[in-house]
Amino acid sequence: MSDAGAAFIDELGRLFAEEGARDYFGEAVTQAEHMLQAAALARAAGGSPALVAAALLHDVGHFPLRHGIGTLDGSQLMAGTDNRHSDTGATWLSRWFPPEVTEPVRLHVAAKRYLCATEPGYLAELSEASVYTLSVQGGPMNPAQCAEFAAGPYARQAAALRRWDDAAKDPAAKVPGFEHYRPILAGLLRT
């Protein structure tokens, strides 16, 4: 791993420690707890290293501009403005990680919209905050959007990530911290 790659992973660790300590927009966990739980669920399900990394990093787009990620943070989403965190986070991560990591991140909001449109009962399982953000993010997909999403090369991975995202909101969960994932991230770096 290059020095630049190691520095980038260090920066991710700082994000989890600093920005990640903030509340997770109406949920009973912090942002870091949420992402760490998603990664633990991905790993427990036998997800590939790339998909575990995507689960770990799927919400970095909520972190604000001062980290060079985006112009909006998650508070705007909760105030009714789509912060497009999935696109912002994937774009920011794409300098360092391959599409197998970044595309499920980019598509995890679309996957929520897809699953709400195609699976009876899925919408009813979402948390109150997730139902609210769904409305801000465009609501359930229409049939043409569903067909386009399903035909994409990362649709299956994004749907899996979405399910882990939805389940990663347990305030009593005990999961490994960020450092546990450092070797996985290092092995996926494009340097």
pLDDT, tens digit, 9 for 90 and up, residues 8-49: 999 999 999 988 887 766 778 899 999 999 999 999 999 999
Whose CA is closest to 179, among 21, 16, 31, 59?
Answer: 16
pTM attached to this predicted model: 0.89
So where are the chain's domains? Answer: 3-188
Whose CA is closest to 48, among 110, 104, 91?
Answer: 104
Q: For 127-182, write each residue's pLDDT tens digit.
A: 888 888 888 888 999 999 999 999 999 999 999 999 999 999 999 999 999 999 99
Q: Residue 98 burial (CB < 10 Å; 0-12/13-18/19+)?
A: middle
In the block, tokens 């009813």 appear at 124
Question: Which CATH class for the 3-188 domain?
Answer: mainly alpha
Buried b or exposed e, range 149-179, using 16+ CB within 10 angstroms = beeeebbebbbbbbbbbbebbeeeeebeebe
